[in-house]
Protein backbone atom coordinates (compact mmCIF):
# COMPACT_ATOMS: atom_id res chain seq x y z
CA UNK A 1 0.00 0.00 0.00
CA UNK A 2 1.17 3.54 -0.73
CA UNK A 3 2.22 4.94 2.66
CA UNK A 4 1.10 8.41 1.56
CA UNK A 5 -2.52 7.26 1.30
CA UNK A 6 -4.37 8.49 4.39
CA UNK A 7 -7.85 7.21 3.60
CA UNK A 8 -9.45 4.20 1.98
CA UNK A 9 -12.15 6.44 0.44
CA UNK A 10 -11.62 7.03 -3.28
CA UNK A 11 -13.35 9.72 -5.36
CA UNK A 12 -13.51 10.15 -9.12
CA UNK A 13 -15.35 12.60 -11.40
CA UNK A 14 -17.10 11.54 -14.61
CA UNK A 15 -18.87 13.37 -17.41
CA UNK A 16 -21.78 11.53 -19.04
CA UNK A 17 -20.95 11.29 -22.74
CA UNK A 18 -22.83 10.20 -25.85
CA UNK A 19 -21.50 6.63 -25.60
CA UNK A 20 -22.97 6.36 -22.08
CA UNK A 21 -26.62 7.21 -22.81
CA UNK A 22 -29.69 5.71 -24.45
CA UNK A 23 -32.40 7.30 -26.63
CA UNK A 24 -33.87 8.96 -23.52
CA UNK A 25 -30.48 10.66 -23.01
CA UNK A 26 -30.33 8.85 -19.67
CA UNK A 27 -27.16 7.11 -18.60
CA UNK A 28 -27.44 3.44 -19.50
CA UNK A 29 -27.39 1.05 -16.56
CA UNK A 30 -24.49 -0.83 -18.13
CA UNK A 31 -22.51 2.43 -18.35
CA UNK A 32 -23.20 3.00 -14.66
CA UNK A 33 -21.91 -0.51 -13.88
CA UNK A 34 -18.78 0.24 -15.91
CA UNK A 35 -18.16 3.42 -13.92
CA UNK A 36 -18.66 1.60 -10.63
CA UNK A 37 -16.26 -1.14 -11.73
CA UNK A 38 -13.69 1.43 -12.81
CA UNK A 39 -13.93 3.31 -9.52
CA UNK A 40 -13.52 -0.02 -7.69
CA UNK A 41 -10.41 -0.78 -9.71
CA UNK A 42 -8.92 2.68 -9.17
CA UNK A 43 -9.75 2.61 -5.47
CA UNK A 44 -8.13 -0.80 -5.06
CA UNK A 45 -5.04 0.31 -6.98
CA UNK A 46 -4.68 3.34 -4.72
CA UNK A 47 -4.60 0.95 -1.77
CA UNK A 48 -1.93 -1.23 -3.36
CA UNK A 49 -4.23 -4.14 -4.21
CA UNK A 50 -5.00 -3.33 -7.83
CA UNK A 51 -5.51 -5.97 -10.50
CA UNK A 52 -1.93 -5.93 -11.84
CA UNK A 53 -0.48 -6.20 -8.35
CA UNK A 54 -2.55 -9.12 -7.11
CA UNK A 55 -2.15 -10.99 -10.40
CA UNK A 56 1.62 -10.58 -10.32
CA UNK A 57 2.15 -11.24 -6.61
CA UNK A 58 -0.59 -13.76 -5.81
CA UNK A 59 -1.82 -15.20 -9.14
CA UNK A 60 -5.38 -14.11 -8.33
CA UNK A 61 -7.85 -11.67 -9.85
CA UNK A 62 -10.88 -9.71 -8.67
CA UNK A 63 -14.37 -10.96 -9.54
CA UNK A 64 -17.68 -9.28 -8.78
CA UNK A 65 -20.19 -11.54 -7.01
CA UNK A 66 -23.10 -9.24 -6.19
CA UNK A 67 -24.25 -5.68 -6.79
CA UNK A 68 -27.25 -3.80 -5.38
CA UNK A 69 -28.04 -0.36 -6.79
CA UNK A 70 -30.71 2.08 -5.68
CA UNK A 71 -31.43 4.94 -8.06
CA UNK A 72 -33.11 8.25 -7.31
CA UNK A 73 -32.63 9.27 -10.92
CA UNK A 74 -30.12 8.56 -13.66
CA UNK A 75 -27.83 11.36 -14.81
CA UNK A 76 -28.31 12.61 -18.35
CA UNK A 77 -26.07 13.46 -21.28
CA UNK A 78 -23.33 16.00 -20.45
CA UNK A 79 -24.05 15.92 -16.72
CA UNK A 80 -21.11 15.63 -14.36
CA UNK A 81 -21.14 13.14 -11.50
CA UNK A 82 -18.79 12.20 -8.69
CA UNK A 83 -18.40 8.64 -7.47
CA UNK A 84 -17.25 8.07 -3.90
CA UNK A 85 -16.32 4.51 -2.98
CA UNK A 86 -14.80 2.74 0.01
CA UNK A 87 -14.16 -0.84 1.17
CA UNK A 88 -15.41 -2.56 4.29
CA UNK A 89 -13.31 -4.82 6.52
CA UNK A 90 -12.63 -8.02 4.52
CA UNK A 91 -14.50 -11.18 5.49
CA UNK A 92 -13.15 -14.71 5.16
CA UNK A 93 -14.03 -15.07 1.48
CA UNK A 94 -15.53 -11.72 0.53
CA UNK A 95 -14.67 -8.07 0.10
CA UNK A 96 -17.53 -5.57 0.38
CA UNK A 97 -17.42 -2.14 -1.25
CA UNK A 98 -19.86 0.78 -1.12
CA UNK A 99 -20.58 3.64 -3.52
CA UNK A 100 -22.30 7.00 -3.48
CA UNK A 101 -22.91 8.96 -6.67
CA UNK A 102 -23.40 12.71 -6.46
CA UNK A 103 -24.83 15.09 -9.05
CA UNK A 104 -23.39 18.51 -9.86
CA UNK A 105 -25.26 20.02 -6.90
CA UNK A 106 -23.65 17.56 -4.52
CA UNK A 107 -26.86 15.61 -3.95
CA UNK A 108 -26.76 11.82 -3.70
CA UNK A 109 -28.61 10.34 -6.68
CA UNK A 110 -27.43 6.71 -6.58
CA UNK A 111 -26.41 4.37 -3.76
CA UNK A 112 -24.78 0.99 -4.28
CA UNK A 113 -23.19 -1.89 -2.42
CA UNK A 114 -21.16 -4.76 -3.81
CA UNK A 115 -19.49 -8.01 -2.87
CA UNK A 116 -16.23 -9.12 -4.49
CA UNK A 117 -13.95 -12.14 -4.21
CA UNK A 118 -10.55 -13.18 -5.50
CA UNK A 119 -10.14 -16.27 -7.66
CA UNK A 120 -7.03 -18.24 -8.52
CA UNK A 121 -6.04 -17.56 -12.12
CA UNK A 122 -5.07 -21.20 -12.65
CA UNK A 123 -7.91 -23.07 -10.96
CA UNK A 124 -10.64 -20.33 -11.22
CA UNK A 125 -11.54 -21.20 -7.62
CA UNK A 126 -12.29 -18.62 -4.92
CA UNK A 127 -9.39 -17.97 -2.56
CA UNK A 128 -9.51 -16.77 1.03
CA UNK A 129 -9.26 -13.03 1.56
CA UNK A 130 -6.08 -13.39 3.61
CA UNK A 131 -4.33 -14.54 0.40
CA UNK A 132 -3.62 -10.89 -0.31
CA UNK A 133 -2.19 -8.66 2.39
CA UNK A 134 -4.35 -5.62 3.11
CA UNK A 135 -3.68 -2.79 5.52
CA UNK A 136 -6.38 -0.20 5.03
CA UNK A 137 -5.41 3.24 6.42
CA UNK A 138 -8.90 3.49 7.91
CA UNK A 139 -12.22 1.66 7.84
CA UNK A 140 -15.34 3.64 6.98
CA UNK A 141 -18.12 1.55 8.48
CA UNK A 142 -20.93 3.67 6.99
CA UNK A 143 -22.94 1.81 4.37
CA UNK A 144 -24.27 3.39 1.17
CA UNK A 145 -27.68 1.90 1.97
CA UNK A 146 -29.02 -0.41 4.64
CA UNK A 147 -30.61 -3.14 2.55
CA UNK A 148 -28.86 -6.49 2.79
CA UNK A 149 -28.46 -8.75 -0.22
CA UNK A 150 -31.42 -11.02 -0.91
CA UNK A 151 -31.69 -14.64 -1.94
CA UNK A 152 -32.87 -14.14 -5.50
CA UNK A 153 -35.25 -16.69 -6.98
CA UNK A 154 -38.26 -16.85 -9.25
CA UNK A 155 -41.66 -16.55 -7.58
CA UNK A 156 -43.60 -17.65 -10.65
CA UNK A 157 -43.07 -19.32 -14.00
CA UNK A 158 -39.97 -18.49 -16.02
CA UNK A 159 -40.67 -17.49 -19.61
CA UNK A 160 -38.09 -17.41 -22.39
CA UNK A 161 -36.83 -13.92 -23.23
CA UNK A 162 -34.12 -14.64 -25.82
CA UNK A 163 -30.77 -16.38 -26.43
CA UNK A 164 -27.37 -14.74 -26.74
CA UNK A 165 -24.05 -16.20 -27.94
CA UNK A 166 -21.05 -14.70 -26.12
CA UNK A 167 -18.65 -13.02 -28.55
CA UNK A 168 -15.32 -11.22 -28.52
CA UNK A 169 -16.86 -7.80 -27.79
CA UNK A 170 -18.60 -9.19 -24.69
CA UNK A 171 -15.43 -10.24 -22.88
CA UNK A 172 -13.20 -8.36 -20.45
CA UNK A 173 -9.62 -8.42 -19.18
CA UNK A 174 -10.25 -11.76 -17.45
CA UNK A 175 -11.39 -13.36 -20.71
CA UNK A 176 -14.96 -13.95 -19.59
CA UNK A 177 -18.26 -12.11 -20.01
CA UNK A 178 -17.94 -8.57 -18.69
CA UNK A 179 -20.24 -7.68 -15.79
CA UNK A 180 -21.56 -4.59 -17.58
CA UNK A 181 -22.56 -6.80 -20.52
CA UNK A 182 -24.75 -8.87 -18.21
CA UNK A 183 -26.61 -5.64 -17.50
CA UNK A 184 -27.09 -4.92 -21.20
CA UNK A 185 -28.49 -8.44 -21.59
CA UNK A 186 -30.87 -7.86 -18.67
CA UNK A 187 -32.07 -4.57 -20.17
CA UNK A 188 -32.63 -6.31 -23.53
CA UNK A 189 -35.28 -8.45 -21.82
CA UNK A 190 -37.46 -5.33 -22.08
CA UNK A 191 -38.75 -3.78 -25.29
CA UNK A 192 -37.89 -0.29 -26.48
CA UNK A 193 -41.43 0.78 -25.61
CA UNK A 194 -40.90 -0.60 -22.09
CA UNK A 195 -37.83 1.59 -21.72
CA UNK A 196 -39.75 4.62 -22.97
CA UNK A 197 -42.47 4.05 -20.38
CA UNK A 198 -40.52 2.80 -17.37
CA UNK A 199 -37.23 3.43 -15.62
CA UNK A 200 -35.21 1.20 -13.30
CA UNK A 201 -35.18 2.31 -9.67
CA UNK A 202 -33.51 -0.68 -8.06
CA UNK A 203 -31.48 -3.58 -9.39
CA UNK A 204 -29.78 -6.43 -7.58
CA UNK A 205 -27.62 -8.90 -9.48
CA UNK A 206 -25.93 -12.11 -8.36
CA UNK A 207 -23.09 -13.16 -10.67
CA UNK A 208 -22.90 -16.90 -10.12
CA UNK A 209 -20.87 -18.53 -12.89
CA UNK A 210 -18.55 -17.05 -15.48
CA UNK A 211 -19.37 -17.31 -19.18
CA UNK A 212 -16.76 -17.69 -21.91
CA UNK A 213 -16.68 -16.76 -25.62
CA UNK A 214 -18.79 -19.01 -27.89
CA UNK A 215 -20.99 -20.17 -25.02
CA UNK A 216 -24.73 -19.58 -25.38
CA UNK A 217 -26.75 -17.85 -22.67
CA UNK A 218 -30.51 -18.39 -22.39
CA UNK A 219 -32.33 -15.52 -20.67
CA UNK A 220 -35.60 -16.03 -18.82
CA UNK A 221 -37.89 -13.65 -16.99
CA UNK A 222 -40.60 -13.97 -14.36
CA UNK A 223 -43.29 -11.27 -14.40
CA UNK A 224 -45.51 -12.78 -11.71
CA UNK A 225 -44.82 -9.74 -9.50
CA UNK A 226 -45.32 -7.16 -12.23
CA UNK A 227 -48.15 -5.51 -10.27
CA UNK A 228 -45.52 -4.78 -7.61
CA UNK A 229 -43.21 -3.43 -10.35
CA UNK A 230 -40.76 -6.29 -9.75
CA UNK A 231 -39.30 -8.40 -12.55
CA UNK A 232 -37.02 -11.36 -11.96
CA UNK A 233 -34.48 -12.29 -14.65
CA UNK A 234 -32.23 -15.33 -14.82
CA UNK A 235 -29.54 -16.39 -17.28
CA UNK A 236 -28.61 -20.03 -17.86
CA UNK A 237 -25.79 -21.50 -19.88
CA UNK A 238 -27.43 -23.43 -22.71
CA UNK A 239 -24.94 -26.31 -22.64
CA UNK A 240 -25.91 -27.59 -19.19
CA UNK A 241 -28.58 -25.20 -17.83
CA UNK A 242 -26.05 -23.93 -15.29
CA UNK A 243 -27.30 -20.67 -13.77
CA UNK A 244 -24.92 -17.84 -14.72
CA UNK A 245 -26.72 -14.97 -12.98
CA UNK A 246 -29.90 -13.94 -11.21
CA UNK A 247 -31.33 -10.44 -11.08
CA UNK A 248 -34.24 -8.58 -9.52
CA UNK A 249 -35.32 -5.32 -11.17
CA UNK A 250 -37.73 -2.78 -9.70
CA UNK A 251 -39.23 -0.29 -12.15
CA UNK A 252 -41.52 2.73 -12.10
CA UNK A 253 -43.31 4.92 -14.64
CA UNK A 254 -41.33 7.86 -15.95
> With contact defined as beta carbons under 8 Å apart, do 67 and 33 qualify?
yes
Instruction: Report whether pLDDT(2) > 50.
Output: no
Q: What is the pLDDT of residue 5?
A: 61
Taking the C-alpha atoms of residue 20 and residue 122, their distance in angstroms, rounded to an integer, is: 34
Taking the C-alpha atoms of residue 63 and residue 127, their distance in angstroms, rounded to an integer, is: 11
Taking the C-alpha atoms of residue 149 and residue 114, their distance in angstroms, rounded to an integer, is: 9
Instruction: Report whether pLDDT(22) > 50.
Output: yes
Instruction: Report whether pLDDT(38) > 50.
Output: yes
Q: What is the pLDDT of residue 174?
A: 81
pTM attached to this predicted model: 0.94
DSSP 33: H
Residue from 83, 40, 28 nearest 203 by CA? 28
The mean pLDDT of 4-31, rounded to a whole number, is 92
- pLDDT tens string 146-197: 999 999 999 999 999 999 999 999 998 888 899 999 999 999 999 999 999 9
Alpha-carbon distances, residue 197 vs 24, 76, 83, 96, 192 (angstroms): 10, 17, 28, 34, 9
- pLDDT tens string 196-210: 999 999 999 999 999
Instruction: Report whether pLDDT(132) > 90.
Output: yes
Taking the C-alpha atoms of residue 39 and residue 148, their distance in angstroms, rounded to an integer, is: 22
Taking the C-alpha atoms of residue 118 and residue 162, their distance in angstroms, rounded to an integer, is: 31
Instruction: Report whether pLDDT(1) > 50.
Output: no
> With contact defined as beta carbons under 8 Å apart, do 40 and 84 qualify?
no
Amino acid sequence: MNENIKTSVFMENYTIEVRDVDFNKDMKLSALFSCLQESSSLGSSALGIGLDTIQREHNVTWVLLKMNIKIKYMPKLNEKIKIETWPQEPKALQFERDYLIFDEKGEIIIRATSIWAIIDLSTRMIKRSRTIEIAYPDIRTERAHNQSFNILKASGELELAYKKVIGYSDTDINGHLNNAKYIDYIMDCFTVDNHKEYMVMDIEVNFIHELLPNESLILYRDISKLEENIIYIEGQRELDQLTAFKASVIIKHR
